[in-house]
A and B are shown apart, each in its own frame.
Chain A
Amino acid sequence: MKNVERPCPDHEKCFHVINLVIDGEANKEEEAFFYKHVRDCLHCAQYYKLEQSIREAIRKKLEVKEAPEELIVELRRKVKDSFLNPSDDVN
């Protein structure tokens, strides 16, 4: 396995493919290249794990702001009003 201290000589291509795999955008050839390569390259295997952990942190740790209930109520009211006053545009 390639030593992590010596970066993978194909790392530009690998980093690109790794991100495609994680994003679900890799084609079959790219996936095959990825799975074969990370078995042998510690540097890229670590990069893959790091990218995955960052994505997971973004998905699971960030606070999700929810729309306030009064906003939803107001939107429904305006939509309903648009039918009561059809000459008025929804504003």
Chain B
Amino acid sequence: MMRKRTPQRYSPVEKVEIFEKEFLPHIHSIYNFAYRITFDEDDAKDLVQETYLKSFRFIDSFEKGTNAKAWLFRILKNSFINEFRKKNKEPVKIDYQEVEAFYNSDEVNHMITSNLQVEAVKEMIGDEVSIALNSLELDFRTVIILCDIEGFSYEEMALILDVPIGTIRSRLHRARNLLREKLRKYAGSMGYK
């Protein structure tokens, strides 16, 4: 999908056609993702604008008809990381070992499953699910969004995030355990049975 390839040489007309027909159709997905990682509409707009302008500037690196959506998400991810570095803000790093030890334990898997009911999840409204998702740490929130909302495959996610597929699997596993736990707590506090 995003293998190294010989740069293309598109005419101006071809460039505009690719931009309009292959890049712009994904703008709402891109914006939605940008908003979910920045939590700010202005920051999301800036990030999306930077992503699309870069995509146009480097359009000769893109092979027409291939996975534009994944390509755009990768550009956005890199832009986001660079923005953090520019502002000297490192994304919050979490102690994965500690989280893994807890959330992969037998006891927690049983507890979380048996105490959160399907009916409770179905009764939740969007805001409640949103709060639970937004409270996840960035790396976990990202994989949930890319997989469950945007429908990327594990391979695509690995290329977008520039990590091994094994990391995607384990990160998704932990993210889903964390999300279930947050939904369980929320359901309990709201009196869902």
Contact = CB atoms under 8 A, between A and B. Distances in A.
Interface of A: 4, 7, 11-12, 15-16, 19, 23-25, 43, 46-47, 49-51, 53-55, 57-59, 61-68, 71-72, 74-75, 78-79, 82-83, 89-91
Interface in B27-64: 27-28, 30-32, 35-36, 41, 44-45, 48-49, 52-53, 56-57
What is the predominant secondary structure among interface residues of chain A facing chain B?
Answer: helix
A61 B16 contact: no
B146 to A, nearest CB: 11
Given A19-B173, A54-B183, A58-B133, A75 B113 contact: no
B179 interface: yes
B193 to A, nearest CB: 15
A41 to B, nearest CB: 12
Interface of B: 12, 16, 19, 24, 27-28, 30-32, 35-36, 41, 44-45, 48-49, 52-53, 56-57, 104, 106, 109-110, 113-114, 116-118, 121-122, 124-126, 129-130, 133, 144, 147-149, 153-154, 172-173, 176, 179-180, 183
A50 B52 contact: no
Given A25-B153, A54-B183, A59-B148, 20 more contacts: A4-B114, A7-B106, A7-B109, A7-B110, A12-B109, A15-B109, A23-B147, A25-B154, A50-B117, A55-B148, A61-B126, A61-B130, A63-B130, A65-B36, A67-B30, A67-B31, A71-B31, A72-B24, A72-B27, A91-B53
A50 B180 contact: yes
Contacts of A72: 24, 27
A65 B32 contact: yes
